[in-house]
């Protein structure tokens, strides 16, 4: 990558990453390294965290299995009551973005240290970002207090991730990288990580869909997700993430699926303003345009292509467009209400982007 006459700032977030196969066996060592004596294990009602709980044994303060998507404040309050009741002095988040989000919300209010064992490709464990939902609105913040201290990536934990969730979770990760390429505070280091993350996931996901137990493909996808999550934590996001926060927080749409559907359209919209930055995405995806390449990748791996199929009501499109213009994020191309409404209409019907 040519640097030219660029001036930039890169600030890496302070956390410890352990990556490999069977690395969950090291969680006890990391608990002790942080000086934690009574960690609380967090997961969703669907997660199978019994093996990890058994591994930690008597050292565990308890288990809270109530994490849910979009991190509702009401759920956080329930978890805080368990923290107080069990006298927990640390958190272990086992699962995807929902569980990681809950751990961050608790850490924001208590200062407790966090260890995250991701089981999807969400990437939230690599960021200082928290998105919380209350009264139908999703608000995001950045704070060093929500940055997990340790991320333990165990490829074996992803081997049973359903192919549908693998596909949408992977597309969600790619969204972080794509927006990092044209972020207001982008830099060459982040761009390198973003392109490598996109390449790793776009190569790994099609194999996973056909052969879910392929260990090499799973490792490649998890590696890509780590890079994409690092991008998300390093720079600020733009229109794509704003739209997804509105749709998720106000219409309770599934997180990863929403990112999957919106990504090709937001990318195509911005490609008119940042063609040079997005050209490598089209090249990686062997496509004429970056938005088209992302749409075709989603289709190839069986991911949803329209908002309609993931539960978005047609009657809510006007409201979503209006909400998206409130407190807008930086975006390399100005977006009017009419343009956002047209973008959402394309996404609602699942039309293939023009670029």
pLDDT tens per residue across span 201-240: 999 999 999 999 999 999 999 999 999 999 999 999 999 9
Identify the residue with better confidence: 341 or 134.
341
Measured distance CA(302)–CA(79) in Å, rounded? 35
Asked if pLDDT for residue 12 goes beyond 80, the answer is: no
pLDDT tens per residue across span 89-108: 999 999 999 999 999 999 99
Asked if pLDDT for residue 247 goes beyond 80, the answer is: yes
* For the chain, domain boundaries: 16-158, 163-349
Q: Looking at residues 260-278, what average pLDDT do you find? A: 98
Phi and psi torsions of 145, nearest 5°: -70, -20
Instruction: State the DSSP string of 222-282.
Output: HHHHHHHHHHHHHS---HHHHHHHHHHHHH---HHHHHHHHHHHHHHHHHTT-HHHHHHHH
Confidence grade of residue 347 (pLDDT, cut at 50, 70, 90) = very high
DSSP 8-class letter at 333: S
Q: State residue 2's pLDDT score.
A: 62
Q: State residue 59's pLDDT score.
A: 78
- The average confidence (pLDDT) of the chain is 94
Decide if 105 contacts 130 (C-beta within 8 A).
yes
Asked if pLDDT for residue 46 goes beyond 90, the answer is: no
Q: State residue 333's pLDDT score.
A: 97
Identify the residue with better confidence: 181 or 1.
181
Q: State residue 209's pLDDT score.
A: 97
3-class DSSP state for residue 67?
coil
Q: State residue 69's pLDDT score.
A: 87
Q: Looking at residues 121-137, what average pLDDT do you find? A: 91
Asked if pLDDT for residue 71 goes beyond 90, the answer is: yes
Confidence grade of residue 48 (pLDDT, cut at 50, 70, 90) = low
Encoded tokens for 240: 């794509």
CATH of domain 16-158: 3.40.50.1970
Q: State residue 303's pLDDT score.
A: 98
Q: Looking at residues 333-349, what average pLDDT do you find? A: 97
Identify the residue with better confidence: 51 or 152.
152
Q: State residue 245's pLDDT score.
A: 92
Encoded tokens for 341: 């409404």
Secondary structure of 37-59 in HEC code, one letter for each residue = CCEEEECCCCCCCHHHHHHHHHH
Confidence grade of residue 3 (pLDDT, cut at 50, 70, 90) = low
- Same fold across 16-158 and 163-349: no
Asked if pLDDT for residue 10 goes beyond 70, the answer is: yes
Name the β-bridge partners of 92: 41, 115
Q: State residue 322's pLDDT score.
A: 97
This prediction's pTM: 0.93
Top CATH class of 163-349 equals mainly alpha
pLDDT tens per residue across span 281-322: 999 999 999 999 999 999 999 999 999 999 999 999 999 999
147-177-70 Cα angle (round to 5): 50
Q: State residue 1's pLDDT score.
A: 62
Q: Looking at residues 50-58, what average pLDDT do you find? A: 77
Asked if pLDDT for residue 58 goes beyond 80, the answer is: no
């Amino acid at each position: 990558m040519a640097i030219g006459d660029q001036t930039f700032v890169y600030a890496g977030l302070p956390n410890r990453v352990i990556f490999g196969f069977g690395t969950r066996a090291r969680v006890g060592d990391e608990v002790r390294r942080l000086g934690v004596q009574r960690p609380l294990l967090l997961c969703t009602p669907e997660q199978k965290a019994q093996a990890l709980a058994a591994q930690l044994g008597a050292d565990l303060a308890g288990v809270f299995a109530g994490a849910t998507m979009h991190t509702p404040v009401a759920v956080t309050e329930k978890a805080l009551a368990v923290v107080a009741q069990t006298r927990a002095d640390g958190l272990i988040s086992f699962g995807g973005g929902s569980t990681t989000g809950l751990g961050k919300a608790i850490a924001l209010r208590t200062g407790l240290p966090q260890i995250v064992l991701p089981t999807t490709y969400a990437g939230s464990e690599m960021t200082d970002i928290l998105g919380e939902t209350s009264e139908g609105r999703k608000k995001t913040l950045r704070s060093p207090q929500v940055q997990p201290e340790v991320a333990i990536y165990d490829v074996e934990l992803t081997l049973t991730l359903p192919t549908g969730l693998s596909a949408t979770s992977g597309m969600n990760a790619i969204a972080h990288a794509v927006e990092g390429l044209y972020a207001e505070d982008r830099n060459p280091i982040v761009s390198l990580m973003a392109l490598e993350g996109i390449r790793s996931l776009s190569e790994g996901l099609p194999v996973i869909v056909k052969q879910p137990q392929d260990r090499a493909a799973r490792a490649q996808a998890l590696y890509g997700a780590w890079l994409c999550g690092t991008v998300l934590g390093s720079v600020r996001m733009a229109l794509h993430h704003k739209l997804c926060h509105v749709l998720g927080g106000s219409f309770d749409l599934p997180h990863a699926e929403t990112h999957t559907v919106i990504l090709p359209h937001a990318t195509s919209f911005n490609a008119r303003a940042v063609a040079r930055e997005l050209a490598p995405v089209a090249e990686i995806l062997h496509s004429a345009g970056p938005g088209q390449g992302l749409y075709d990748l989603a289709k190839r791996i069986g991911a949803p292509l329209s908002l309609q199929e993931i539960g978005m009501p047609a009657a809510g499109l006007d409201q979503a467009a209006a909400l998206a213009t409130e407190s807008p994020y930086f975006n390399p191309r100005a977006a009017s209400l009419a343009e956002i409404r047209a973008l959402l209409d394309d996404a609602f019907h699942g039309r293939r982007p023009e670029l």
